[in-house]
Chains A and B, each alone.
Chain A
Amino acid sequence: MITELDPNKIAQLLTQSTRQIDAATLSALAGARRNALTRQSVHSPVFALTTGRWMLSLIPHSTQQWAATGLLAAMLVIGSGYWQHAKEQQISDLDVAILTDELPIETLLSDSHRT
């Protein structure tokens, strides 16, 4: 009876081999990824959806008239808060990409990529 190889070690070596994939393939994969992102089915940011549903689930139907005016005021305030939130989210999304991309940060700090 042979001793079985450790599947996790095999997996580690396979991951090593993914680092050797050639640049042309990598760029094709990146292109496919960007293309897929443009087709993502839902674009509405989380903020609007969760806040909207949250408010609707709270307000009782019997006081709908009162709710409508209050809601309008709330919407205006939330609107400006939302805008700020969306901008902030864009920035932190970009930060995540920068911090996890293969590209070393140093490249982004110098201007070497412009050549």
Chain B
Amino acid sequence: MQSSLIGIVLLLCLISTTAGAAAQSWRALTPAQREALAPLVQQWDTLPEKQRDRLLATAKHYPRMTPEQKQRYHERLPTWSKLPPEQREAARKNYRALEKMPPDKREQVKQRAKQEQEIKDRQSASGVTATPSSSQQ
């Protein structure tokens, strides 16, 4: 009797693991998940299921991120989720390639990228577009 019950449970679980979970609407998320994915509250229900699954998988790590990591994660979620899938794939490919580089070259690339980003941020903050900001003397 117990064995047949176990059999049914087993079967159901197999079905659920291979078939994929039911679509997770925002209302169905736990508070922890909502905290992690907060920047996406508006568009969550419009996202395809696979994308939501992947985002939920990343959200699992949120509680243990450092404050800085949490900040970056939140900043980037909207941009990331709006990207077309091919762009996300390209980003993953580029990131993998970056990881394969020797450490010093990788660090060079990172520093240069951060500098460029800082320049862009400063320009957009001060309202300047293409022209470099004049020296403040």
A–B interface present (Cβ within 8 A): yes
Which size bracket describes the interface of A in this complex? 35 or more
Q: Tell whether, in the assembled complex, residue A95 and residue B54 are in contact, meaning their CB atoms are under 8 Å apart.
A: yes
Q: How far is the CB of A85 from chain B (nearest CB, A)?
A: 7
A11-31 CB mask vs B (1 if < 8 Å, else 0) is: 000010000000110111011
**Docked complex Cα distance between A34 and B113 (Å):** 21
Residue from B3, B73, B107, B113 within 8 A of A99 (CB atoms) = B73
In the assembled complex, 23 residue pairs joining A and B whose CB atoms fall closer than 8 Å, in A order, are A23-B108, A26-B107, A27-B107, A30-B107, A59-B6, A66-B3, A70-B7, A88-B57, A98-B76, A98-B80, A98-B95, A100-B65, A101-B72, A102-B114, A104-B117, A106-B113, A107-B109, A108-B95, A109-B83, A109-B90, A109-B91, A112-B113, A112-B116
Is the Cβ of B10 less than 8 Å from the Cβ of A70?
yes
CA distance A74 to B108 in the complex (A): 50
Is A96 at the interface (CB under 8 A from chain B)? Answer: yes
